[in-house]
Amino acid sequence: MKLFGGFGSPFTRRVGTTLRLYGLDHEHIPLRGSVPEELEQLQKFNPLGRVPALETDDGRAIVDSAAILDYLDQLVGPEKSLTPPSGDARTEVMNIIGISAGAVEKSISCYYEEGVNAKRPPEMVFRPWVDRMYEQTKEGVEALDGMVKGPWMIGDQLTQADVSMVCFWDFIAMHRPASAPALNCPNLSALSERANAMPEFSETRPG
């Protein structure tokens, strides 16, 4: 298999971390959609030119991290899958992923609105909208902080909720400007520290 996209993308990182946790052989190719030559290669696997994208061993192209994770879960089977196959545990994991994905998407939008990665001039930034996105990120992650049940999100066992949450939280914390409201998430910080002590997480952590 080949995974396309850099680990600066938290969505690519959660796929890369999951591949490692599953022990699946793969090649990582950190293509960037912002580089024309790399975009052309990426579009062979994702016409949208977005990351992540996965080329399977039989040559199929799968795009969007949720679809890729679903494929990997089926590949390893329900006994090894980090996403519970059914029941309340699956609903809980998927709910946590949904909230955390929403929070990081708000953070990514801010990442492209201002600072060194801004895609528009400062005078074109609509401040109330950006400030509201920072608030939504804060509301989301602080709610998730209160959902932590043990050493991992839903208790004693690591699940995809932890993989996604750590990858998303690390992006949010790394790119949160000092001007944004501070985040009070001691449980998520501890979760990140615990996970990143594992090579499967540390090997994909952006510098």
Q: Two tokens at 195?
A: 């996970």
The architecture CATH gives domain 2-76:
3-Layer(aba) Sandwich (3.40)
Question: How far is 46 from 197, CA to CA, in rounded Å?
Answer: 33
Pairing assessment for the beta strands 61-63 and 2-4 based on DSSP bridges: unpaired
Please report, for the chain, the start and end positions of each structural domain, with discontinuous segments joined by +.
2-76, 87-198
pLDDT tens for 49-93 read 889 999 999 999 999 999 999 999 999 999 999 999 999 999 999
pLDDT tens for 14-61 read 999 999 999 999 999 998 877 788 888 888 888 888 899 999 999 999
CATH number, span 87-198: 1.20.1050.10
